[in-house]
Amino acid sequence: AQSVSQHNHHVILSEAASLELGCNYSYGGTVNLFWYVQYPGQHLQLLLKYFSGDPLVKGIKGFEAEFIKSKFSFNLRKPSVQWSDTAEYFCAVNALAGGSYIPTFGRGTSLIVHP
């Protein structure tokens, strides 16, 4: 069965610091990769996604992620965080299994950005 690991459970940064959140998955076949974000009191929403093509994908609010197939990784980055980036971040992998795409989510990373 596929699994998704997010190594950083809690990250605390000051504004303008750079961010990188790790995400590794275990599945050898074709995958679709996602990062979702949950701001305090709000729904989970899509941050960015990778299906194919350029392994460096850009999402909303200045976030980007790079798919490195050889490392089974899809790390999330932002060069300069803002206080408003305080949220819970979830990495997710959709892999074809038994004819359907069943998504697997990581445990999430709580990001706190101090002003």
Partner 1 sequence: GAGVSQSPSNKVTEKGKDVELRCDPISGHTALYWYRQSLGQGLEFLIYFQGNSAPDKSGLPSDRFSAERTGGSVSTLTIQRTQQEDSAVYLCASSPKGGSSYNEQFFGPGTRLTVL
Binding site for partner 1 (CB under 8 A): 4, 6, 32, 34, 36, 43-46, 49, 51, 90, 92, 94, 98, 100-108
Minimum gap (Å) between residue 113 Cβ and partner 1: 20
Minimum gap (Å) between residue 93 Cβ and partner 1: 11
Residue 91 dihedral angles phi and psi, to the nearest 5°: -95, 140
DSSP codes, 41-74: TS-EEEEEEE-SS-SEEE-GGG-EEEEEGGGTEE
Q: Cβ closer to partner 1: 27 or 105?
A: 105
Q: Cβ closer to partner 1: 51 or 83?
A: 51
Nearest-5° angle of CA 89, CA 53, CA 1? Answer: 55
User: From CA 100, how far away is CA 89, in angstroms rounded?
Assistant: 25
Q: Cβ closer to partner 1: 13 or 44?
A: 44
Q: Cβ closer to partner 1: 10 or 69?
A: 10
Minimum gap (Å) between residue 102 Cβ and partner 1: 6
Q: Are 43 and 30 in contact (CB under 8 A)?
A: no
Minimum gap (Å) between residue 15 Cβ and partner 1: 26
Read off the DSSP letter of residue 34.
E
